[in-house]
Chains A and B, each alone.
Chain A
Amino acid sequence: LGLLEKLMKTVLIIEDNDNNMELISFILESSGYQCIKAETGQKGIDLAIEKLPDFILLDVQLPDIDGLAVLKKIRASKADGKTPIIAMTSHAMAGDREALLTRGCNGYIEKPIDPGRVMEQIQEILKEMK
């Protein structure tokens, strides 16, 4: 992907933890992405439908609505049914991860996020979709 293409891309990050949000958005912005930030599941669903981002990074442990439900709702909306969604899971969420994949999640990156590898991981998932 060229720099120009990257500049045009927007990513919706749904993440309640402030540190994680700062970390992942910093890495993505450093790579030229425009980040839309949602701190709750509900806000994430709304922004996904409203802003139509190029892809979505979804934390599966949210305080209001759990990741699976957010995924379901976004997938169910006509406006944004096909947006790539990448889950961010932790070690403990092994079970959820399998469930996420069978429910229309396109891939996952594992926490802790490795700043040196995370962009590569994301690109790989997006490439596989095409």
Chain B
Amino acid sequence: MSILVVDDDDNSRVMLTNLLEGSGFSVIHASDGKEAWEKVKLSRPELIITDILMPRMDGYSLCQKIKGDSGLKNIPVILYSATYVSKESMELAHSMGGTSFVVKPQHPKVLLAAIQQVMKEHSEGNFSSLQKTDEDLDKMHFKVLSDKLQERVDGLEKLNHALQEKNDELVEEWTQELVESEEKYRDLYDHSPELLLSVDGETERITECNETLLRVLGYTKEEVIGRVWFDLYHPNSVEPARSAFNRLLVTGEIRGIELQVIKKGGEKIDVMLDASRGINKTTGKKYTRSVWFDITERKKAEQALLDAKQALETANNRLQELDRLKTLFISSMSHEFRTPLNSIIGFTGILAMEMVGKLEPKQKDFLGRIKQSSIHLLALVNDIIDISKIEAGKFETFNSNFLLGTVIDEAVKQVETLRNEKGLELRVDVPDNIQVINDRKRVSQCILNYLGNAIKYTEKGWISISARQLDGNAEVVVEDTGIGVSEDDLPKLFRQFVRLDSPLRMKEMGTGLGLYLTKKMASEILGGTVGAESQLGVGSKFYLSIPTNRQSNKYGMKVGSPGESDENCINH
């Protein structure tokens, strides 16, 4: 027994075919009503199971066609549908002559039972046939189809509505997100610490800028947007900014351009410009995105630094000029001040010695005073010159190898007259084997100063000079039984122009520079030290310590030996 299975859905068709073949039926099949109609006419199956909704010709039409054909109308037709399940649908199926109506999906057993029922009724001669006229059937068919269509439309509308709702929901959600995102980026843009702006590459007008730019420059948005970009620059900056802008359009990026921008009030600020070029995806037009870093403070600092440098240079030049003047002063002091003094001292001496004629006692006394004052003045000039030279680093110094004892002997001899005048005893304790390599003349000068002071400030008693060797140093000590110095005054001794109060000191003439020069000479030229101990009214003790072999001192001075060549002269 053969059954025709009609279904446009491949899966349903195969499943049904397998079920029926498994139950011993022979099956032929068609995928729509039209194909089924052809196959029915050819092979005349004994039963037809057909889907309703199919392309080209639906199950109803197929049923109607078969039932309307006198030769085929006895073939039972089972309508099998998942969608046409309304009362009207079933009624139409019945009216069309459908033998049975099965709702999809149905258990195979139910389907088989339905088939067997149909077969049984058929064998009993119980044929179903068209129940109505074709016109009525068409009306019913149309009604079912339109109901079905309406149902579909309703379904679609419902679906559409749901979709619309979902869509609205999503749109609202997305809009919210977009707004939040926009706010976030707008905030970043507007309140960036830097000044931001965009310019249309063609019109060169500003299309956008951030709040920071408006705040710093003092403009409103309306005053900035739409303006040509170079309006914002200081006239001096327009040309370099123009060339940077042109370069930007070509290369796509510029960095670190330092320019000046004008605020609303006309005040200018220094900015550093970084910019990149963008190209609009839809229009293809170029635009620029610029960042201005406010570097006014940095520029100010740079300027201040530059000014300071300038001031320093000026000061340095002045100092150099002063130094030059000082050197000039020293050299003129050296010669010009001394030459006339030498004449005064010399001629006064000749007159005082009565080499040109006999003098009255008063005349002789006064000439002696003139000579004494001149010598004092000369000593002052000499001390000042020495100090100036040391301070200017122009002091000439020479090394020579000598016996300290010899230098001390010479010094003692030089002050002999003065000492004898005062009737002071001299005590000498100097070993004759202390060999020294140092500046002989200056060592002698220091010792002479100590001896001179000792005699000057001692009225009675003795003065002494002793020497000894200590490691690499020679130490000379000059002691006296003079007026002494109080504990308070002791630290002032080696300062310049210090002349301590005392009747004897007022009487004695001094430069006020002697000890100061001795200290300076000892430390800066000889590489040694000085010191003093004293007791007021009892006496004083002065120390001088010098290296016995002066190679160089702490000032990096090179030391030569005298007389070898002119270059041995050391400018210190």
Interface residues of A (CB under 8 A from B): 17, 19-20, 23-24, 26-27, 30, 61, 68, 90-92, 94-95, 97-99, 101-103, 111-116
Contact = CB atoms under 8 A, between A and B. Distances in A.
B335 A115 contact: no
Interface of B: 334-335, 338-343, 345-347, 349-350, 353, 355, 374-375, 378, 382, 385, 396-398, 400, 441, 562-564, 566, 568-569
A111 B355 CA distance: 19
Contacts of B400: 98
Contact of A23 (B350, B378, B441): B350
A115 B354 CA distance: 11
Contacts of B374: 112
Contacts of A26: 350, 355
A23 B131 CA distance: 175
A102 B342 contact: no
A114 B342 contact: no
A19 B349 contact: no
Nearest to B569: A95
Q: Which 3 A-B pairs have the closest CB atoms?
A: A102-B563, A98-B562, A115-B349
A94 B441 CA distance: 7
22 contacts: A17-B339, A19-B340, A19-B347, A20-B343, A23-B346, A24-B346, A27-B350, A27-B355, A61-B335, A68-B566, A91-B385, A92-B334, A94-B398, A94-B441, A95-B569, A99-B568, A99-B569, A112-B342, A113-B349, A114-B345, A114-B349, A115-B355
Contacts of B346: 19-20, 23-24, 112-115
A102 B562 CA distance: 8
B505 to A, nearest CB: 25
A23 B343 CA distance: 7
B350 A94 contact: no
Nearest to B340: A19
A92 B337 CA distance: 12
Nearest to B347: A23
Contacts of B562: 95, 98-99, 102
B388 to A, nearest CB: 11
Given A20-B343, A23-B347, A92-B385, A115 B338 contact: no
Contacts of A101: 563
A1 to B, nearest CB: 19
Contact of B338 (A24, A30, A90, A103): A90
Given A92-B335, A111-B342, 11 more contacts: A19-B339, A19-B343, A19-B346, A27-B355, A94-B396, A94-B441, A95-B396, A112-B338, A114-B349, A115-B349, A116-B349
A91 B355 contact: no
Contacts of A92: 334-335, 338, 385
Contacts of A23: 343, 346-347, 350
B207 to A, nearest CB: 82
Contacts of B568: 99
Q: Is the interface of B mostly helix, strand, loop or mixed?
A: helix
B564 A113 contact: no
Contacts of B342: 19-20, 90, 111-113
Given A99-B566, A103-B563, A112 B341 contact: yes
Nearest to A97: B441
The residue among A30, A61, A111 with the most chain B CB atoms within 10 A of its own CB is: A111
A80 B492 CA distance: 56
Contacts of A116: 349, 353
Contacts of A112: 338, 341-342, 345-346, 374-375, 378
A90 B340 CA distance: 12
A115 B353 contact: yes
B398 A98 contact: yes
Contacts of B378: 112
B564 A102 contact: yes
A30 B37 CA distance: 175
A99 B350 contact: no
Contacts of A113: 342, 345-346, 349
A60 B321 CA distance: 30
A101 B343 CA distance: 25
Given A20-B343, A102-B562, A111 B338 contact: yes
A114 B378 CA distance: 13
B518 to A, nearest CB: 16
A112 B458 CA distance: 27
Nearest to A66: B566
A24 B569 CA distance: 29
A113 B564 CA distance: 28
A92 B341 CA distance: 14
B105 to A, nearest CB: 132
B349 A91 contact: no
Contacts of B338: 90-92, 111-112
Contacts of B334: 90, 92
Nearest to B341: A112
Contacts of A98: 398, 400, 441, 562-563
A27 B355 CA distance: 8
A17 B342 CA distance: 11
Contacts of A94: 396, 398, 441
A51 to B, nearest CB: 25
The residue among B340, B346, B562 with the most chain A CB atoms within 10 A of its own CB is: B346
A13 to B, nearest CB: 14
Contacts of B339: 17, 19-20
B440 to A, nearest CB: 8
Contacts of B347: 19, 23
Contacts of A103: 563
Nearest to A113: B346
Nearest to A17: B339
A75 to B, nearest CB: 14
B379 to A, nearest CB: 9
Contacts of B350: 23, 26-27, 115
A67 to B, nearest CB: 12
A99 B349 contact: no
A91 B385 CA distance: 10
Contacts of A27: 350, 355
Nearest to B356: A26
Contacts of B341: 112
A17 B375 CA distance: 19
